[in-house]
């Protein structure tokens, strides 16, 4: 975000939120604006739309998108105090007030109808995959409540009385939402309800209703008209997101109507058995009102992947398919259906073919998950057995627990700023002790690196009374505050030290740029220890002390820092922006700062080499560590640990296990010699994979398959790739195989077929062998039946042809009678694998 130009009482800003200033952040802005009596408007300079900044509905209608420039104008009696408050909100709160959303299952937004089901003539109703998962249940159709055009009763009485009824209604509706808020479990559920809460008290909505009442209309009629007005306004927006918000307005208005006696809403749907709820559109509160025990899946006619319903369904893990046209006509109440949220289809008739397909699907998914988890529980090592710890970033005991479930080797960065932010008083030692000790316990013996508070920069707290700075990122933050706020630091250190009794806690200081800062930090730790001794409080002696390497100055004195600390952790976000002297939130210069720049890679190389020479452990936290594409470089760099988002851990561990550290080190050295980031980028996998995974493994040899059709055989083989982690995109791989089949049968005689493809949906070149118990038809044009299927899969971008020699040699050997007879005779996968490995020199 760019800084405000402070001309009179205007504030210009650029929207820092990637999803735009939508309902949830808008409700925060309106909340701040409403604290003051001054008028407050916001104009979107991109489209010229002007909005009352006190009204959520108005702000949404202004369609403020990512990086739109906006101007906020404040005028009125308390403008002098409103201005700094709004400035503080825009600069410090807004950039962080959006909750990250779970991703939609596929980016393609189209339904995938499995070939096998297609071939079996199974009816699949196509929609859009919105929320992952597969579930089955009885249909319950939820009728859309339609807004009555005119309200005959109750008739209007005195406007005064009408208005007091309106007030009561708003209070009641808000109270109901607040009640639901208490039980909201996910951060997203909370955010959605908060936005609803703000809409229910929206000033523009209230204004409209009041105007109509003052013209003599009943409050019910006034609500209907106001609702129509906003729904109309939203529906005419060119932005799909804004159009989706009409559902939220309608729901609020329905509830108001119900309160004032305008309509009788049907009671909430009672679910009493495993159910699939079908609706044209669902308001968030309707979803939250459904019994989660029985709600198995959702089918929506509405096409919105950005509707609050869709977003909520994802965060609650309810399989959901949207954009199912005429769903309420196609799917009648009481019918047992299957909803496939991974592929975006609904299957209205569950017959034997469907059961056969989904039974295997469940097994495949289970095996893949188990394999991922099993791998995640051990410390990941490359094919040549170089270990790389994969830790998680966390801020609470709950996140620590979730990280461990995902297979984290520890917590590489436990941030503590959040505990200090958004409050008027600093947290007490006891409060902190509880948080840190719970996290230590949750980590069950694995290390937890707690970073002492990094306040300042973009994170300000009121009780420290810091003056505004022109360049907060280059100013008073991190370790630099500690001398002035000793008591605050000492109380945090005491809390951390006491918590160390409960697990493997380590302490880390942020923003260090000199040796003297380290010495001072250690002095504070000694004082905290002395204070605990004096008080007779137990703590663990000698816990590891480390520092963040995020200021370039520190990168060049690693040898001098090393005797004073036990470990280092590279903070890539700040390090890169300090190194390139470029603000990563300023679009004009942010492209300068790329962690793929050879200059930056050389800096990292210097840091890690220096730490190695000093025999110190070195990790990395920050966004660079979480970029899967960069993993080969990080392995090549030679880190001891990376600390990443916990949900990514299984994928990272799987990928590490496929890398060869020597190849990665060579790759890294080549990247250092590149002249541009594009050149360095072109070295990364997808271009030349350093994967050295074996071509053939036992889990790719399927003996005595019971598959009955060609489609099923191909599906079974692709599933084996998926379970073994050789593909993450089954559908793409499958379609590549079928594309080859379309050019001509791959049946080659002797009861053999050799389907094959080149595709980057593969993570490694592979041979998969499947022997059928009963031969099947491969191609209707040829009468010969197929008993043995050998699938050859090559990465499209593998230009080295290393494995082509093996493929061609295998193809040639199939001419040999003995070779074929042997393949048909082996009793198990191991024997087949050994035979092929010997024959093909693998």
- Using CB under 8 A as the criterion, what x/- string covers residues 421-450 for binding another protein? ------------------------------
Could you give the C-alpha distances from 187 to 101, 199, 438, 556, 644, in angstroms and in order?
Answer: 10, 19, 20, 41, 20
For the bound state, the minimum distance from the C-beta of residue 544 to another protein, rounded and expressed in Å, comes to: 53
Residue with tokens 């049907």: 266
Helices marked H in 143-186 — which ranges?
159-183
Q: Are strands 447-451 and 504-509 parallel, antiparallel or unpaired?
A: parallel
- In the bound state with another protein, the residue whose beta carbon lies nearer, of 485 and 740, is 740
Distance, in Å, from the CA atom of 788 to the CA atom of 782, rounded to the nearest integer, reads: 16
- In the bound state with another protein, the residue whose beta carbon lies nearer, of 235 and 815, is 815
Which residue of the set 15, 22, 28, 83 is catalytic?
A: 22
For the bound state, the minimum distance from the C-beta of residue 815 to another protein, rounded and expressed in Å, comes to: 4
Q: Does 808 bind another protein (CB under 8 A)?
A: yes
- In the bound state with another protein, the residue whose beta carbon lies nearer, of 531 and 745, is 745
- In the bound state with another protein, the residue whose beta carbon lies nearer, of 438 and 741, is 741
SS3 291: coil
- In the bound state with another protein, the residue whose beta carbon lies nearer, of 194 and 746, is 746
Distance, in Å, from the CA atom of 284 to the CA atom of 20, rounded to the nearest integer, reads: 20
Could you give the C-alpha distances from 102 to 252, 399, 589, in angstroms and in order?
Answer: 25, 16, 29
Tokens of 7: 């001309």
Applying CB under 8 A, the span of 245-253, 397-405, 424-432, 801-809 interacting with another protein comes to 801-809
Q: Does 804 bind another protein (CB under 8 A)?
A: yes
Catalytic residue flag (residue 308): yes
Helices marked H in 387-511 — which ranges?
397-405, 417-420, 429-442, 486-499
Q: Does 783 bind another protein (CB under 8 A)?
A: no
Single out the residue of 200, 324, 404, 794 in contact with another protein (rule: CB under 8 A).
794
For the bound state, the minimum distance from the C-beta of residue 819 to another protein, rounded and expressed in Å, comes to: 11
Q: Does 535 bind another protein (CB under 8 A)?
A: no
Q: How far apart are the first and last CA of the chain?
A: 55
Applying CB under 8 A, the span of 90-98, 187-195, 307-315, 798-806 interacting with another protein comes to 798-806
Distance, in Å, from the CA atom of 483 to the CA atom of 486, rounded to the nearest integer, reads: 5
Is the backbone of residue 186 left (phi > 0), alpha (psi -120 to 50) or beta? beta
Applying CB under 8 A, the span of 57-65, 566-574, 613-621, 806-814 interacting with another protein comes to 806-814
Is the backbone of residue 319 left (phi > 0), alpha (psi -120 to 50) or beta? beta
For the bound state, the minimum distance from the C-beta of residue 687 to another protein, rounded and expressed in Å, comes to: 18
Q: Does 748 bind another protein (CB under 8 A)?
A: yes
Q: Does 805 bind another protein (CB under 8 A)?
A: yes
For the bound state, the minimum distance from the C-beta of residue 632 to another protein, rounded and expressed in Å, comes to: 25
Distance, in Å, from the CA atom of 90 to the CA atom of 72, rounded to the nearest integer, reads: 10
- In the bound state with another protein, the residue whose beta carbon lies nearer, of 65 and 803, is 803
Beta strands in 665-765 (DSSP E): 701-705, 747-749, 752-753, 756-758
Which residue of the set 97, 621, 757, 768 is catalytic?
A: 621
Single out the residue of 6, 167, 366, 812 in contact with another protein (rule: CB under 8 A).
812
Catalytic residue flag (residue 28): no
Applying CB under 8 A, the span of 207-215, 491-499, 606-614, 747-755 interacting with another protein comes to 747-755
- In the bound state with another protein, the residue whose beta carbon lies nearer, of 250 and 741, is 741
The DSSP call for residue 467 is P
Tokens of 199: 């809409």
- In the bound state with another protein, the residue whose beta carbon lies nearer, of 31 and 839, is 839
Distance, in Å, from the CA atom of 41 to the CA atom of 61, rounded to the nearest integer, reads: 13
For the bound state, the minimum distance from the C-beta of residue 835 to another protein, rounded and expressed in Å, comes to: 19
By rule CB under 8 A, what count of residues binds another protein?
A: 26
Q: Does 801 bind another protein (CB under 8 A)?
A: yes
Single out the residue of 53, 555, 757, 769 in contact with another protein (rule: CB under 8 A).
757
Applying CB under 8 A, the span of 79-87, 215-223, 610-618, 750-758 interacting with another protein comes to 750-758
Distance, in Å, from the CA atom of 599 to the CA atom of 676, rounded to the nearest integer, reads: 9
- Binders of another protein in range 707-746 (CB under 8 A): 740, 743-746
Which residue of the set 756, 757, 768, 803 is catalytic?
A: 756
SS3 176: helix
Residue 835 burial (C-beta neighbours within 10 Å; 0-12, 13-18, 19+)? middle
Q: Does 811 bind another protein (CB under 8 A)?
A: yes
The DSSP call for residue 659 is B
Single out the residue of 84, 100, 462, 749 in contact with another protein (rule: CB under 8 A).
749
Which residue of the set 83, 308, 328, 803 is catalytic?
A: 308
- In the bound state with another protein, the residue whose beta carbon lies nearer, of 621 and 764, is 764
Q: Does 785 bind another protein (CB under 8 A)?
A: no
Q: Are 199 and 247 in contact (CB under 8 A)?
A: no
Single out the residue of 414, 420, 722, 807 in contact with another protein (rule: CB under 8 A).
807
Residue with tokens 């493997």: 504
DSSP class per residue in 490-507: HHHHHHHHHHGGGSEEEE
Q: Are strands 756-758 and 785-794 parallel, antiparallel or unpaired?
A: parallel
Q: Are 689 and 715 in contact (CB under 8 A)?
A: no
For the bound state, the minimum distance from the C-beta of residue 142 to another protein, rounded and expressed in Å, comes to: 50
- Binders of another protein in range 156-185 (CB under 8 A): none
Distance, in Å, from the CA atom of 59 to the CA atom of 507, rounded to the nearest integer, reads: 44
Q: Are 786 and 752 in contact (CB under 8 A)?
A: yes
Q: Does 756 bind another protein (CB under 8 A)?
A: yes
Q: Are 129 and 329 in contact (CB under 8 A)?
A: no
For the bound state, the minimum distance from the C-beta of residue 701 to another protein, rounded and expressed in Å, comes to: 18
Active-site positions read 22, 308, 621, 756
Applying CB under 8 A, the residues found at the interface with another protein are: 740, 743-746, 748-749, 754, 756-758, 782, 792, 794, 801, 804-805, 807-815
């Amino acid at each position: 975000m760019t800084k405000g130009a402070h001309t009179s009482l205007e504030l210009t800003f650029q929207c820092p939120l990637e999803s735009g200033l939508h309902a949830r952040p808008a409700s925060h802005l309106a909340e701040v604006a409403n604290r003051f009596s001054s008028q407050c408007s916001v104009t979107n300079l991109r489209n010229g739309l002007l909005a009352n900044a006190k009204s959520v509905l108005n702000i949404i209608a202004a369609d403020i998108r990512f990086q739109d420039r906006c101007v906020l104008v404040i005028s009125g009696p308390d403008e002098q105090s409103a201005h700094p408050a709004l400035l503080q909100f825009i600069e410090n709160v807004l950039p962080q007030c959006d909750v990250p959303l779970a991703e939609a299952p596929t980016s393609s937004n189209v339904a995938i109808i499995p070939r096998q089901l297609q071939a079996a003539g199974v009816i699949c109703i196509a929609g859009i995959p919105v929320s992952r998962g597969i579930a089955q249940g009885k249909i319950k159709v939820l009728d859309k409540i339609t807004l009555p055009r005119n309200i005959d009763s109750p008739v209007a009485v005195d406007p005064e009385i009408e208005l007091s009824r309106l007030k009561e209604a708003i209070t009641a509706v808000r109270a109901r939402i607040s009640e639901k808020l208490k039980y909201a479990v996910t951060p997203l559920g909370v955010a959605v309800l908060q936005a609803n809460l703000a809409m229910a008290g929206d000033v523009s909505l209230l204004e409209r209703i009041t105007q109509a009442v003052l013209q003599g209309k009943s409050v019910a009629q006034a609500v209907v008209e106001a609702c129509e007005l906003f729904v109309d306004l939203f529906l005419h927006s060119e932005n799909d997101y804004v159009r989706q918000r009409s559902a939220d307005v309608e729901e609020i208005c329905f509830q108001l109507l119900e309160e004032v006696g305008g309509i009788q809403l049907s009671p909430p749907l009672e679910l009493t058995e495993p159910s699939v709820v079908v609706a044209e559109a669902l308001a968030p509160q309707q979803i939250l009102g459904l019994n989660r025990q029985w709600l198995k899946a959702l089918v929506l006619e509405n096409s919105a992947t950005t509707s609050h319903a869709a977003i909520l369904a994802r965060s609650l893990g309810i399989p959901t398919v949207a954009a199912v046209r005429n769903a309420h006509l196609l799917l009648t109440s009481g019918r047992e259906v299957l909803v496939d949220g991974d592929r975006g289809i609904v299957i209205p008739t569950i017959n034997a073919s469907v059961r056969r397909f989904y039974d295997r699907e469940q097994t495949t998914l289970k095996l893949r998950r188990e394999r991922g988890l099993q791998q995640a529980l051990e410390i990941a090592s490359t094919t040549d057995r170089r270990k790389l710890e994969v830790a998680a970033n966390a801020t609470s005991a709950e996140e620590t627990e979730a990280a461990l479930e995902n297979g984290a080797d520890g917590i590489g960065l436990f941030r503590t700023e959040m505990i200090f932010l958004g409050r008027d008083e600093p947290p007490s030692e006891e409060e902190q002790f509880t948080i840190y000790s719970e996290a230590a316990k949750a980590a069950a013996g694995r290390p937890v690196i707690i970073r002492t508070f990094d306040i300042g920069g973009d994170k300000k707290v009121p009780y420290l009374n810091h003056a505004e700075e022109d360049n907060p990122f280059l100013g008073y933050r991190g370790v630099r505050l500690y001398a002035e706020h000793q008591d605050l630091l000492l109380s945090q250190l005491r809390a951390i030290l006491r918590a160390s009794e409960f697990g493997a806690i380590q302490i880390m200081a942020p923003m260090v740029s000199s040796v003297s800062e380290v010495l001072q930090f250690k002095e504070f730790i000694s004082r905290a220890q002395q204070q605990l001794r004096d008080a007779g409080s137990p703590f663990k002696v000698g816990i590891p002390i480390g520092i963040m390497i995020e200021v370039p100055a520190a990168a060049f004195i690693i040898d001098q820092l090393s005797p004073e600390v036990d470990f280092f952790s590279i903070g890539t976000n700040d390090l890169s922006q300090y190194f390139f002297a470029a603000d990563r939130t300023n679009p004009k210069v942010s492209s300068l700062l790329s962690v793929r720049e050879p200059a930056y890679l050389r800096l990292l190389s210097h840091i890690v080499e220096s730490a190695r020479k000093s025999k110190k452990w070195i990790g990395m936290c920050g966004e660079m560590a979480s970029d899967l594409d960069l993993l080969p470089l990080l392995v090549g760099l030679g880190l001891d640990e990376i600390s990443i988002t916990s949900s990514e851990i299984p994928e990272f561990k799987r990928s590490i296990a496929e890398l060869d550290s020597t190849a990665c080190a060579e790759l890294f050295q080549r990247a250092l010699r590149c002249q541009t980031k594009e050149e360095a980028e072109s070295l990364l996998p997808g271009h030349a994979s350093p994967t050295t995974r074996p071509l053939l493994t036992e889990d790719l040899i399927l003996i005595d398959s019971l598959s009955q059709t060609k489609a099923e055989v191909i599906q079974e083989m692709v599933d084996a790739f998926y379970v073994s982690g050789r593909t993450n995109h089954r559908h793409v791989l499958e379609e590549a195989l079928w594309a080859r089949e379309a050019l001509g049968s791959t049946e080659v005689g002797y009861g053999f077929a050799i389907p094959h493809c080149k595709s980057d949906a593969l993570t490694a070149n592979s041979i998969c062998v499947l022997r059928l118990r009963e031969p099947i038809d491969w191609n209707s044009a040829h009468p010969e039946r197929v008993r043995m299927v050998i699938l050859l899969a090559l990465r499209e971008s593998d230009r080295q042809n290393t494995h082509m020699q093996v493929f061609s040699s295998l193809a040639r050997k199939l001419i040999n009678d003995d070779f074929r007879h042997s393949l048909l005779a082996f009793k198990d996968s191991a024997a087949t694998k050994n035979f092929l490995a010997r024959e093909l020199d693998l």
